[in-house]
Structure 1
Amino acid sequence: MQGIKKTCEDGQVPLIEELMTPEGEELLAHVTPYSPDRILPLTQSLRNQGYHPDLIALAFTQAQLRAQATTKFGPFAERMLFTRDGLEQATRLSVAVHHARRFTNAGITIMADITAGIGADSLAFGASGLHVHAVEKDHTTALIAAHNVRPFPEVHVTHGDGLDYVTSGAPVAGIYADPARRQQGKRLFDPAAHHPPLPAVWDLAARVNGALGVKVGPGINHEDIPADTEAQWVSVSGEVVEAGIWFGPLAQHRGHTALLINAEGHHHTFTAHPSNTEPEIAAPGHYGTTLIEPDGALIRAGLVADLAQRIGAQLLDPHIAYLTTDSDHIPLADGVRLGRAYQITDVLPYTVKNLRGYLRERKVGSVEIKKRGVDITPEKLRPQLGLAGPNRATVILTRVKDSRIAMIGHPL
């Protein structure tokens, strides 16, 4: 299988390979679609047919992971195999195609994916016509990656250390890496604690004339980002999913950018506003008729003030990522929302008593509670509000300077 040994160090064939045979695919078909209610009766039936219990359990696990993977891979998940950790870290296909486009736009034809995982990015690289040397350190995961990229012969998967592969003189013109950011279930924020360490990965740029792309967690400290690169935060349907650090010819803009992708696949790249002027701060007591909550990718990238300047809005507070405007237009670019907009009907000083009285008077029985810049837990606040009635409202809790306020409205 693409140069990967079929046996482990102990001489045993990994069980996952049994699912890659025609018989294994037939077993997977039996347990699909996944449903917990089907496990017990199907297990007995399959054991009666001669399937080994361990293989049956693995098939159910794969069926469950395939069901979960549809949010990242759509219909492609139906033929893929996964590990739990690999699926969690895997790049969504809608994002991976943008990674691939950077390499093809830079004129690169041969590249290395040095942390291949289950092969998610290599899938997109291969589909874009790139010749890919995909390297994965874990033997079983390498087998899964090779299985997942089978439709693309341009992708060659090997089991080994990606750093060693590149530093030994691999004939590639570009490098992509997605270092592991978890250890024993905990997120890693120290760049040196990633696997492989980020400083060692940054150094690889010099081997490929700067053509290096590195996926990192969206919580990366801005101070840890190398100079003269493009750091891009990515959101899909309003959820921040990753950040990427792009070097040399792969960087389309220097500095911080945000890529916003909606459910329909439309996308917009948001860059810093060309003006260096400071954004306007709303006058005391002026809250506008519309509140804008910028997309999380813009917030992470530090582009809230740039959005304010672009749409003619004001910052509610210099340190809070809420914007205010008297326009009722939802901020859009290329058909993609740049944030959520709320029509504001009332603003009151925040205390639980004030808010409870307001909601009771208006017979509000259901609320969406949002907050930013205040130490309030919506789950703890909700039972204190005495909600009752047929009406709905959105409650936005925030602060302006030292005053806590409650803004009442509804989504646009």
Structure 2
Amino acid sequence: MVVRLDVKTAHALVSDDVIMSLEMFRHSNEPEMRINATFTGMHGKKIGGAMLDLRMLRHRANQKFLLGQDMFFTRALLEQASSEAVAEYRTQRFVEAGYTSIVDACCGCGSDAITLARAGITVEAYDINEITTIFATKNAQVCGVSDKLSVHLADCTEIDLPDGPIMLDPARRKGSKRIINPELWSPSPDAVAEMIKGRPAACLKLSPSVDLDILLELFPKPDEIEVISYRNEAKEMVFWYGELASGVERRATIVSHSEAATPDLLLQTYAGDEHSQAETASELGTYFYTPNKALLRSGLIGKLAAELGLKNIDPHIAYLTGDEAISNPFLDCMKIMGYDSFDPRKIRALMRKHKVGSIEVRKRGISESVPSITKRFLPKSYGDKRCVFIATRIGDSHVGILAELIK
């Protein structure tokens, strides 16, 4: 059970005694109940429970941060925090623009502010929540940037923030629940507009799951819109303002790391000024393409399709088709093996013919869940071949497409 944190418990978590206890059990394989009993015996029930929660969160944090095992956060703070790789990529814009100091108006656990500080930028960070500022301050110490990063407990909408460029990441969660309506985010769209006004540059980090038209209606019109993908997910919608914009209206970026012992940041980016709809095909071609989510959410899929000679399978479905195999970082290319109506008997016959043993389901325009589709359409193995099964809609018809991924 997740412990409800208070300020006193948060201060206890960042104390030397608790940190030492957490380090003792960092790699322990003992059952959680036994570890919890030990923590409780050493520090009391409430702090012990909070230690166990933090220990579990740190395992997840390793996917985001190099020093995740030593950092502090709540579940909501960890979920909203940018992965280190994404924050590192965004920081490059501030560095290239020549900024040496910035304001982080809603810093959360400090992930963005820490990355900016590591790049040598002085950061004045603010948050309205005292527990958050306790953790952000300690995280700056853990990451060795306390000399470049100052954390303040304050409501950014109620004080006069320092001049210069600003980083804004409105809180989109309340406890464990995600807030879908941007008008309920903190700070609100109106408050964000006031904070951006008159500044030379701003970076506004938003959720890519919210419709872009809604974001454009509520927030100040950006000079550039960028959608960032990391580990095959659209992680962030970023509105760039002023001197941080690159001169294009829209951009899709894929962030990844090399496999070297000391990984380098790898980037794939595609930009344009058009938000165009791809032409619709009269029939399926030889090859089938599924777009990276950053390309899709940025509204650039039509532009890229036109450049590559690809067409939509349906005006309302963001899948593409063509007669040539094309290698592009923003598209997964598959050779179509066969297709039929979305009927288990017909699709099973197709899978039997091609000796399919397992499938990866991709779907769009179909409400049925992936586990249900897998169970209904491939109830048993017909061989050892692994294929992609696309469940989708073309016009008024639901279809199933069997394809082989071309790497």
Q: How far does residue 279 in structure 1 lie from its aligned partner after superposition? A: 4.1
Asked if residue 80 in structure 1 is aligned to residue 80 in structure 2, the reply is no
- Say if 1:227 and 1:44 are closer, same or farther in 2 by CA, change over 3 A: closer
Structure 2 CA distance, aligned partners of 1:95 and 1:105?
16
Amino acid at match of 1:221: D
The answer for the alignment partner of 1:164 in structure 2 is 158
Q: How does 1:200-211 map to 2 (within 5 A)?
A: 200-209=191-200, 211=201
The reply on whether 1:229 has 2:220 as its aligned counterpart is no
Displacement of 1:149 in angstroms is 1.0
How do residues 177-216 of structure 1 correspond to structure 2 at under 5 angstroms?
A: 177-183=168-174, 185-209=176-200, 211-216=201-206
Deviation by residue 1:13-64 (Cα, 9 ceiling, x = unmatched): 62232333332221011221365x433333445566x433333322222211
C-alpha distance after superposition, 1:77-112 (max 9, x if no partner): 122111111001001111111222222222222211
Aligned residue for 2:251, secondary structure, equals strand
- Which of 356, 359, 371 pairs up with 2:363? 371
Q: In the alignment, which residue of structure 1 is the partner of 2:102? A: 111
Q: Hey, what does 1:266 align to over in structure 2?
A: 266
- Quote how far apart the aligned CAs of 1:190 are: 3.2
Residue 280 of structure 1, CA deviation: 4.0
Residues 104 and 126, structure 2, Cα contact 8 Å, conserved in 1: yes
Give the match for residue 31 of structure 2: 38
Instruction: Confirm or deny that 1:134 pairs with 2:130.
Output: no
Q: CA RMSD in A?
A: 2.4
Q: Are positions 1:281 and 2:272 aligned together?
A: no
Q: CA 1:45/1:213 → structure 2, altered by over 3 Å: closer, same or farther?
A: closer
> Take 1:262 and 1:13, find their aligned partners in 2: how far apart are those partners?
37
Q: Secondary structure at the match of 1:220?
A: coil
Measure how far apart 1:369 and its partner are: 1.8
Query: Contact (CA 8 Å) 2:127, 2:133: kept in 1 or not?
Result: yes
- Paired with 2:7 and 2:337, the residues of 1 have a C-alpha distance of 65
| AA in 1 matched with 2:300 | L
Q: Which of residues 43, 52, 56 in structure 2 aligns to 1:51?
A: 43
Partner of 1:334: none
State the AA in 2 paired with 1:353. Answer: R
Output the CA distance in 1 between the equivalents of 2:243 and 2:103.
16
Mapped partners of 2:178, 2:35: distance in 1: 37
C-alpha distance in structure 1 between counterparts of 2:101 and 2:135, whole Å:
22
SS at match of 1:380: helix
Q: Say if 2:291 is the partner of 1:294.
A: yes
1:27 maps to: 21
Q: Percent identity?
A: 26
The alpha carbon displacement at 1:187 in A equals 3.3
1:380-402 Cα offsets, whole Å, 9 max, x none, are 23332333333333211223223
Give the counterpart letter for 1:82 in structure 2. Answer: F
- Hey, what's the Cα distance between the residues in 2 that align with 1:315 and 1:325? 9
Tell me what 2:138 maps to: 147
Match of 2:51, SS state, is helix
**AA at the equivalent of 2:194:** D
Report the TM-score, using the length of structure 1 for normalisation. Answer: 0.86
> Which residue is 2:262 aligned to?
none
Alignment partner, residue 380 of structure 2 = 387
Aligned residues: 386
2:249 matched to which residue of 1? 255
Q: Does 2:63 match 1:66?
A: no
Structure 1 spans left out of the alignment, 5+ residues: 1-11, 332-336
Instruction: Name the counterpart of 1:349.
Output: 341
Supply the distance in 2 between the matched residues of 1:221 and 1:296 (Cα, whole angstroms).
13
2:381 is paired with a residue of what secondary structure?
coil
Q: 1:188 & 1:15 partners in 2: Cα distance?
A: 26
Q: 3-state DSSP class of the match of 1:321?
A: strand
Is 1:219 aligned to 2:218, yes or no?
no
Distance 1:297 1:277 in 2: 15
Residue 64 of structure 2 contacts residue 82 of structure 2 at CA under 8 Å; is this kept in 1? yes
1:193–1:44 Cα change, 3 Å:
closer
Instruction: Report the alpha carbon displacement of residue 185 of structure 1 after superposing the two structures with TM.
Output: 4.2
Looking at structure 1, the residues matched to 28 and 187 of structure 2 have their Cα atoms a distance apart, in angstroms, of 35
The whole-number CA distance in structure 1 between the counterparts of 2:330 and 2:305 is 11
* Structure 1 counterpart SS, 2:209: coil
CA distance in 2, matches of 1:305, 1:277: 5
Q: Which residue, out of 233, 242, 247, partners 1:239?
A: 233
| AA in 2 matched with 1:182 | R
> Structure 1 residue 398 and structure 2 residue 388: aligned?
no
Which residue identity lines up with residue 8 of structure 2 in the other structure?
P
Deviation per CA, 1:271-324, whole angstroms, max 9, x where unpaired? 1277x9874432x33x22221111001111111112212333222223221111
Q: Is the 2:278–2:301 Cα contact (8 Å) retained in structure 1?
A: no
1:361: how far off? Answer: 4.5
Normalised by the length of structure 2, the TM-score is: 0.87
Structure 2, unaligned runs of 5 or more: 1-5, 259-264
Aligned to 1:324: 321
SS at match of 2:82: coil
